[in-house]
Amino acid sequence: MPDLLIELFSEEIPARMQKRAGEDLQKRITDGLVEAGLTYASAAAFTTPRRLCLTVEGVVGESPTLREERKGPRADAPEKAIEGFLRGAGLTRDQVVTRPTPKGNVLFAVIEKPGRPAADIIAEVLAQTVRDFPWPKSMRWGSGALKWVRPLQSILCILADEAGAQVVPGDVDGIAFGDTTEGHRFMAPGRFSVTSFEDYEAKLKRSFVVLDSQARAETIWHDATNAAFASGLGVVEDAGLLAEVAGLVEWPVVLMGEIGSDFLDLPAEVLQTSMKEHQKFFSVRNPKSGQIERFVTVANRETADNGATILAGNEKVLSARLADAKFFWENDLRVAKSDMSIWTQALENVTFHNRLGSQADRIGRIAALARDLAPVVGADADMAEEAARLAKADLSSEMVYEFPELQGLMGRYYIEASGRDAAIAAAAEDHYSPLGPSDKVPTAPVSVAVALADKLDTLTGFWAIDEKPTGSKDPFALRRAALGVIRLILDNGLTLPLGGTFGPHAWSDNLLAFFHDRLKVYLRDQGIRHDVIDACIAMEGNDDLTLLVNRARALSATLATDDGENLIQGFKRANNILSQAEAADGVEYSFGADRKYAETDEERALFDALDQADARIVPAMDAQDFATAMAAMAALRGPIDAFFEAVQINTDAQTVRRNRLNLLSRIRTLCLSVADLSKIDG
């Protein structure tokens, strides 16, 4: 069975789009083949900056013949009915057959769809794939109407077997399918023909093109780390940059260069960001000093001077870039050391949100809130307020204007340079955290105060103007902010009831419910069931997340035990009987179970057990020691089971019945004092 080879050769494809494009090509072509009845053995896609390639092995030679039978009217039906049937089937009277059936002689049309050669199907599927290709952004060129990511220059499409290779006849908007391609733009210009995937890959290699992006990435990483190692240095890992660079070259050549000594005292993050963002350089670090001392750039060709000209050029460009960065750094340091209020004042002219005021307005609110929160988190109130006032000052700095991703970090450097307390500087860097479920959570009190204030102001503010997340839309990242608050509170064990007032914006039950939803998602990932959380949310003090989660964890642990699981059954049984009796009798059995009316040992044992449990649970609950309380509750499982086993609740003796119902009520009251067990599933 033949193998199919496709190459879509174009002008340079953006690096970030290549991987996905290879996957889309493979999916669309193979889906199209299978849909048309062509099976295949295996397929693989490859990408370089100038080509998408797909190899499909073992494609069947043609699609199977399909036979369809259609039942028509009886042979003696009116002429009109028969005519209609023939028209629908596209046949004449002598092309249909008559067969006896229990309903008499009936006409049958047998329609055969003959199989089609693979080449015809491939040509159609390929043309369709090219026309509908899902590029994130595509364009027209010249006078044509075809759209591609950049001008599409040639299409290679061959079917190859032992007998040789055949071009699949076809075209897309005037680009005829052929069997030729090009190698490296500069090192091996000119077209050549290929006869199979192996031939294609080998000839490309001879023409200075490594087809497999993974292989290019491995070469780059291997050569870069070797070059650094030889100088006693190490390359700073960056998987995203590696993938991008592998998508910018067909023939990677690693070159290691020097960073001008004037720039080595810039913060490492500034060097790294500038080199990566502007030049796509890897940073090379001295493991002894931790300093970034050199860079690695990846050229797309070999040269007679072993890259000397290329490297000199890159070093020159880097010097110009770093001269800018140094200029920003020095200007910023001057401001930081003299008067940072220039920066905070500038934020008065920066709109945060047109209904929530300027950045300066927002910072004022955060500062007041950080001050209020300070005692809760164990921070000094003055320090928390000052930290909040300065935490976003770096947004006005030249460095952050140039590199927004350095916000916070530059704030820390500049506040340190201003001679302020290290805790205030740290808060500038940390207050954006945590940014996700696995990002580290600040623990230094001042940082925690500012981080909480920042997020709570954002949440209450957007809630106040009714800009809540809906469905997949969360433009202000409010879910992330809520998760941040949750993690800050839990990881630091803070007692911070959210129902309190935070700044000028009112708290709302709706916002608390939003927090509870986020909490469920967060705890679900930690293996705590949603019904367990619901059982705890139903309790008093559910705006104290530390309390809520302690309760949920204890309940979850209890339910994981045999006693706990069975206790739930006992509780539910008691609750059901009680609810039914209460509904029937129109009273609430809530008080007055008396030991003297107990008739059986099991009843008396339950009285004893409840007394003991009460004695343990009440002080434990007062101390918020949920584990002890729930262990005491779970210990009731035996007496409750024995009670139900031996005792009939509904007896004719009304005093005894009432007493037993009141006893069940004690079970209910006791259990519900720990968590709302009625919310537990099963």
CB of 299 to another protein, least distance (A): 4
Residue 597 as a binder of another protein (CB under 8 A): the answer is: no
Burial 463-486, CB ≥16 within 10 A → b, else e? bbeebebeeeeeebebebbbbbbb
Residue 141 as a binder of another protein (CB under 8 A): the answer is: yes
Contact present, 575 and 668 (Cβ < 8 Å): yes
Window of 62-70, 123-131, 308-316, 413-421 that interacts with another protein by CB under 8 A: 308-316
Pick from 52, 130, 318, 391: which binds another protein (CB under 8 A)? 318
E strand or H helix at 384, and its extent? Answer: helix 381-390
E strand or H helix at 334, and its extent? Answer: helix 308-338
Pick from 163, 230, 304, 584: which binds another protein (CB under 8 A)? 304
CB of 517 to another protein, least distance (A): 35
> Sign of dihedral through CA atoms 190, 196, 199, 201?
positive
Residue 261 as a binder of another protein (CB under 8 A): the answer is: no
Residue 151 as a binder of another protein (CB under 8 A): the answer is: yes
Pick from 121, 299, 581, 630: which binds another protein (CB under 8 A)? 299
Residue 456 as a binder of another protein (CB under 8 A): the answer is: no
CB of 192 to another protein, least distance (A): 18
SS3 call for 479: helix
Pick from 248, 271, 356, 675: which binds another protein (CB under 8 A)? 248
Residue 357 as a binder of another protein (CB under 8 A): the answer is: no
Pick from 73, 108, 153, 421: which binds another protein (CB under 8 A)? 153
CB of 319 to another protein, least distance (A): 9
Pick from 92, 94, 100, 143: which binds another protein (CB under 8 A)? 143
Pick from 312, 587, 623, 646: which binds another protein (CB under 8 A)? 312
Instruction: For residue 466, report the phi and psi dihedrals to the nearest 5 degrees.
Output: 60, 45
Window of 137-145, 208-216, 460-468, 599-607 that interacts with another protein by CB under 8 A: 137-145
Q: HSE of 35 in the Cβ direction (CA atoms, 13 Å)?
A: 9
Q: What is the DSSP letter of 78?
A: -
When the beta carbons of 244 and 372 are compared against another protein, the nearer one is 244
Sheet holding 253-258, edge to edge: 234-235, 282-285, 292-299, 253-258
CB of 142 to another protein, least distance (A): 4
Contact present, 220 and 254 (Cβ < 8 Å): yes
The answer to whether the peptide bond before residue 434 is cis (omega within 30 degrees of 0) is: yes
Task: Give the count of residues interacting with another protein (CB under 8 A).
Answer: 41
Contact present, 460 and 503 (Cβ < 8 Å): yes
User: What's the per-residue H, E or C state across 216-280?
Assistant: HHHHHHHHHHHHHHHCCCEECCCHHHHHHHHCCCCCCEEEEEECCHHHCCCCHHHHHHHHHHHHC
By CB under 8 A, the residues from 333 to 352 that bind another protein are 349-351
CB of 130 to another protein, least distance (A): 17
Pick from 80, 137, 288, 473: which binds another protein (CB under 8 A)? 137
Pick from 19, 27, 74, 150: which binds another protein (CB under 8 A)? 150
Pick from 129, 314, 447, 659: which binds another protein (CB under 8 A)? 314
Residue 19 as a binder of another protein (CB under 8 A): the answer is: no
When the beta carbons of 300 and 575 are compared against another protein, the nearer one is 300
SS3 call for 251: coil
When the beta carbons of 284 and 427 are compared against another protein, the nearer one is 284
Cβ-in-10-Å burial (0-12, 13-18, 19+) of 355 comes to exposed
How far apart, in whole angstroms, are the C-alpha atoms of residue 616 and residue 628?
Answer: 8
Residue 142 as a binder of another protein (CB under 8 A): the answer is: yes
CB of 298 to another protein, least distance (A): 9
When the beta carbons of 230 and 320 are compared against another protein, the nearer one is 320
Window of 114-122, 139-147, 382-390, 614-622 that interacts with another protein by CB under 8 A: 139-147
Q: Residue 171 forms beta bridges with which residues?
A: 176
> Sign of dihedral through CA atoms 593, 594, 597, 601?
positive
When the beta carbons of 314 and 550 are compared against another protein, the nearer one is 314
Please give the span between the terminal C-alpha atoms of the chain, in angstroms, as a whole number: 57
Residue 240 as a binder of another protein (CB under 8 A): the answer is: no
Residue 186 as a binder of another protein (CB under 8 A): the answer is: yes
SS3 call for 660: helix
The residue among 602, 586, 674, 678 whose CA lies nearest residue 640 is 602
Q: For the chain, how big is the Rg over CA atoms in Å? A: 37
327 Rama sector, left if φ>0, alpha if ψ -120 to 50, beta otherwise = alpha
By CB under 8 A, the residues from 210 to 239 that bind another protein are none
Estimate to the nearest angstrom the gap between the alpha carbon of 70 and the chain centroid. 51
Pick from 320, 466, 583, 682: which binds another protein (CB under 8 A)? 320
CB of 294 to another protein, least distance (A): 15
How far apart, in whole angstroms, are the C-alpha atoms of residue 284 and residue 236?
Answer: 6
Would you tell me which residues interact with another protein (CB under 8 A)?
A: 11-12, 14-16, 49, 137-143, 149-151, 153, 186, 248-249, 279, 297, 299-301, 303-305, 309-310, 312-314, 316-318, 320, 323, 349-351
